[in-house]
Amino acid sequence: MALASEQDFLDLVDRHFPNTHAGVELGRGDDCAVIRPGGDLCVSTDLFLEDQHFRRSYFSAGDIGYKGLAVNVSDILGMGGRPTGFCLSLMAPRGIEDAFWEEFFAAMADLAREVDAPLVGGDLSSAEKIGVCVTIWGEAIAQGRFLRRGMTRPGDTVFMAGRPGLARAGLLCLEDEGLRATDVCPEAVQAHLRPRMLMRQAVELAGDPGVRGLMDVSDGLARDLPRFLAEGQGLEVKLDPGALHPEVVAQAEARGEDPVEFALLGGEDYGLLAAADEETCRALSNRIADHIITGTVVDRPGLWRNGSPLTLDGFDHFAS
Amino acid sequence: MALASEQDFLDLVDRHFPNTHAGVELGRGDDCAVIRPGGDLCVSTDLFLEDQHFRRSYFSAGDIGYKGLAVNVSDILGMGGRPTGFCLSLMAPRGIEDAFWEEFFAAMADLAREVDAPLVGGDLSSAEKIGVCVTIWGEAIAQGRFLRRGMTRPGDTVFMAGRPGLARAGLLCLEDEGLRATDVCPEAVQAHLRPRMLMRQAVELAGDPGVRGLMDVSDGLARDLPRFLAEGQGLEVKLDPGALHPEVVAQAEARGEDPVEFALLGGEDYGLLAAADEETCRALSNRIADHIITGTVVDRPGLWRNGSPLTLDGFDHFAS
């Protein structure tokens, strides 16, 4: 078989993904699926491409299927949304064995089940490299309230659910050591290959009326914090090195880098940034185990440390 | 520039696509866009990839941008829907000049304006070849009524809006002659490079209560007719050769093929199949200029001509 035709693809999809779901009026198999939204929908799309976003040398088929969907789920959580459906377009080189696709779809279907999002449509094409394009949509967790960027106020604390820099530690270690990295920094490797989706945390954050804004951290805190703040505002960064994951600290130190700067550069953290007053953040800290306080919002743009502009080697956070 | 960064992509998109629209609560620029559906939504996704679906040797940048969206619009029309929004993921090789992307986006934006569908989100990645992945959604043209496949009844006439085989004639001529094909069969070439979207025809068909089922013809009538019929039913094919486009007839004859068989093999027609009683189809024929009657529904499966199984060289319509 080896996914040679659209029909093989449809059969494989049907074996792994149920074709009925609450909110889906008409499943896969016609020109379009038909969904019945319960209100406003948030929508996002992301590409996940071989040799651009992942390497087959250390990503298993299951890792690719999982993460191809996960990077999209995270965008929905970052709006205070809960995924309610997705479409999958798959680029598949000829000659990849059946077992690969079985594992790919099984892992993607596991995540779809975990977040309760039905697959309602798709497309397949031959291509030279594997590529996944998912479009995903969701409904607001807290009735009718999506949480946006740019909602911070001076004095707010910026809270992050997740572990900044951990996926970067995993990526760098995998690039250096291949799968031997699993012995060196197992949690960092896992964070890069199969980032945990912070669904429960999104429910906590979106459901708390004290949380003013929410955002998915995917390009690293140094890039994403300025995007999260309201216009004209900045952040006095107060990342406590003691709150960083030990594998982040170890990887940074092994590279002669400052752990806080290493964590700020991050990338693919798939954490959630939230803005709220200090008291709300203190309460959130008790309810969300993996978190870090990134700093305090100030009324001048940029990232600051002890009142001076924060500088990171090889990174200009004033450029986009 | 040459589309080197996500920011270049966003700037280019912003220049070509307005970021406000009725039904869009929050446009591009956050983790997700937020849409406000007026009711059920139909959803579809399609890939449009270099060297799989198009060649740069005879597709202009504008043709690629136009058709990458058009193949998706047609799926919405095939449900009796009207597009209400879409997402674009773009794979862009490095080193393609700015003028290419300007033309690409201008043509896609022209079509988006023609069908009144806002672009609400997107993603960009480097890749070795150009690739377009669009996910599109729409609302029912006739209040709450999407039109599905499998709704035919024996005795129904199957009507097709569009010109079967014309895009195939264009493709074959382009493959043989390159852009010189434009002189040989200009309308066929146009049908392949920039298929017309049958928006007005979809409104006629979906709005007629006599029309029982609707479907987008994209894989050729020989493949798509069996998919359109209700289970256990077939079609007595009665395609009038005199109703075929003259360029279809000319291309078929130049290749020593029967024009009706050539048209049935089609591919990328982006026509609309509709099932209705004879009288309704007669009325539709007066309102929809480019159309053809494909035949009459019978109560045994398969495609038939004069009561015998229809055979097409090199094509088994009983296989999927």
As for the ipTM of the complex, it is 0.94
DSSP string covering A121-174, please?
A: EEEEEE-SS-EEEEEEEEEESBTTB---SS---TT-EEEEES-TTHHHHHHHHH
The reported pLDDT for the residue numbered B319 is 47
Average pLDDT (A2-26) is 89
The reported pLDDT for the residue numbered B315 is 61
Which of chain B's residues have a Cβ under 8 Å away from the Cβ of A5? Answer: 320
Closest residue of B to A36, CA-based? B40
Rounded to whole angstroms, how far apart are CA atoms B68 and B82?
17
Residues 28-57 of A with CB under 8 A from B: 30-37, 40-47, 49, 52-53
Which of chain B's residues have a Cβ under 8 Å away from the Cβ of A148? Answer: 26, 30
Q: Is A311 on the interface with B (CB under 8 A)?
A: no
Rounded to whole angstroms, how far apart are CA atoms B105 and B99?
10
Which of chain B's residues have a Cβ under 8 Å away from the Cβ of A25? Answer: 40
The reported pLDDT for the residue numbered A315 is 61
The reported pLDDT for the residue numbered A145 is 92
- Contact present, A239 and A264 (Cβ < 8 Å): yes
The reported pLDDT for the residue numbered B311 is 83
Say if residue A211's pLDDT is above 50: yes
Residues 138-197 of A with CB under 8 A from B: 138, 146, 148-149
Q: Is B129 on the interface with A (CB under 8 A)?
A: yes
pLDDT in tens, B25-44: 999 999 999 999 999 999 99
Whole-model pTM over 0.90: yes
Backbone angles phi, psi at B156, to 5 degrees: -60, 150
Residue type, B129: K
**Which residues make Cβ contacts (< 8 Å) with residue B261, sequence separation at least 6?**
B252, B312, B313
pLDDT in tens, A102-131: 999 999 999 999 999 999 999 999 999 999
Residue pointed to by tokens 């270690």: A173
Which of chain A's residues have a Cβ under 8 Å away from the Cβ of B7? Answer: 320
The reported pLDDT for the residue numbered A313 is 64
pLDDT in tens, A214-234: 999 999 999 999 999 999 999
Residue type, A29: G
SS3 call for B92: strand
pLDDT in tens, B70-80: 999 999 999 99
Task: Give me the helices (H) in chain A, please.
Answer: 6-16, 61-77, 98-115, 166-177, 181-184, 186-193, 199-207, 221-228, 246-254, 259-265, 278-287
Average pLDDT (B248-273) is 96
pLDDT in tens, B109-150: 999 999 999 999 999 999 999 999 999 999 999 987 999 999
